[in-house]
């Protein structure tokens, strides 16, 4: 299996998802299309393929940019095209956080600021439709999964809502057979989560000081459960791969 992984920011690697893919025998080819890009510099980051090629699936990771910010991140339209190409070829697509927002945008749905920033291991609930979903069936009806985002999205036409949250309703969806968007960050390890907090310490201190005293406790209480969720969902996602023609 060959998986194309779009890493939108160097601080948001594939983490537990990538580990599970590699453990299952997949090869993960990582491209960083925005890395080093600047409006003042000719550097454009890694080149994205324009077609699915011989890749079996697509993984689109998170990042601090907004899904509509083509002006500052000119590779975003190419990522949208890649998402549509994999979906049209019936090759599985998995988007996490920004990746989910880009899937929604790629299929005509609105992505917009929610008016709050969700941070930490927050409770998510499976919908009734998740009971028959290939990735989520049989899992616990509620789980605490890492969040760090300020935008949300409408569901694309035809999408099935799979997970909901208290403050941000649209947390996971499936489109067509095997295109999935998850607003949550079930890929994070403890090191990744702590690095996000370190990088954003000043902002959190000024805008979400309530996070600071409970962040480590959230990691301790909920990361093992979230890691099991990540392993199960990732392995089930790989099982959706069909042999390339």
Of the listed ranges 12-26, 46-60, 118-132, the one predicted with least confidence? 46-60
CA dist list (Å): 209 to 117, 123, 202, 206, 242: 12, 20, 10, 6, 47
Specify burial of residue 93 (Cβ count, 10 A radius: 0-12, 13-18, 19+): buried
179-182/93-96 β-pairing? parallel
Provide the token pair at 38. Answer: 């600047």
pLDDT digits (tens, 9 = 90+) for 132-172: 999 999 999 999 999 999 999 999 999 999 999 999 999 99
**Buried b or exposed e, range 31-60, using 16+ CB within 10 angstroms:** bbbbeebeeeeeeebeeeeeebeebbbbbb
Contact 195, 11 (CB under 8 A): yes
pLDDT of residue 238: 98
> Band of the pLDDT at 115, cuts 50, 70, 90?
confident
pLDDT of residue 5: 96
CA dist list (Å): 69 to 56, 116, 141, 164: 28, 19, 35, 26
β-sheet bridge partners, residue 182: 96, 172
pLDDT digits (tens, 9 = 90+) for 187-220: 999 999 999 999 999 999 999 999 899 999 999 9
From CA 91, how far away is CA 1, in angstroms rounded?
A: 12
Contact 185, 199 (CB under 8 A): no
User: Is 80 exceeded by the pLDDT of residue 112?
Assistant: yes
Q: Which residue ranges make up each domain of the chain?
A: 2-239
Average pLDDT value for residue range 117-128:
95
Place of tokens 């600047």: 38
* Three-class DSSP category at 196: helix
CATH number of 2-239: 3.40.50.880
> Band of the pLDDT at 45, cuts 50, 70, 90?
low
């Amino acid at each position: 299996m060959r998986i194309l992984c779009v890493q939108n920011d160097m601080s948001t690697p594939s983490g537990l998802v990538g580990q599970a893919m590699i453990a299952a025998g997949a090869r993960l080819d990582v491209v960083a299309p925005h890395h080093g890009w600047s409006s003042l510099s000719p550097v454009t980051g890694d080149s994205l393929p324009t077609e699915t090629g011989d890749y079996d699936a697509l993984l689109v990771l998170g990042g601090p940019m907004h899904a509509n910010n083509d002006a500052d991140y000119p590779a975003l339209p190419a990522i949208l095209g890649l998402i549509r190409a994999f979906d049209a070829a019936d090759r599985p697509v998995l988007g996490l956080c920004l990746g989910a927002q880009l899937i929604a945008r790629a299929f005509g749905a609105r992505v917009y600021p929610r008016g709050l920033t969700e941070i930490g291991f927050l409770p998510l609930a499976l919908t009734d439709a998740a009971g028959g979903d290939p990735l989520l069936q049989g899992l616990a009806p509620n789980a605490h999964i890492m969040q760090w985002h300020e935008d949300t999205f409408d569901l694309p036409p035809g999408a099935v809502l799979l997970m909901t949250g208290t403050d941000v309703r649209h947390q996971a969806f499936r489109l067509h057979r095997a295109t999935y968007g998850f607003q949550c960050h079930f890929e994070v390890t403890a090191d990744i989560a702590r690095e996000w907090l370190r990088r954003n310490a000043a902002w959190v201190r000024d805008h979400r000081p309530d996070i600071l005293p409970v962040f480590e406790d959230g990691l301790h209480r909920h990361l093992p459960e979230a890691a099991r969720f990540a392993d199960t969902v990732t392995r089930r996602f790989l099982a959706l791969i069909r042999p390339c023609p």
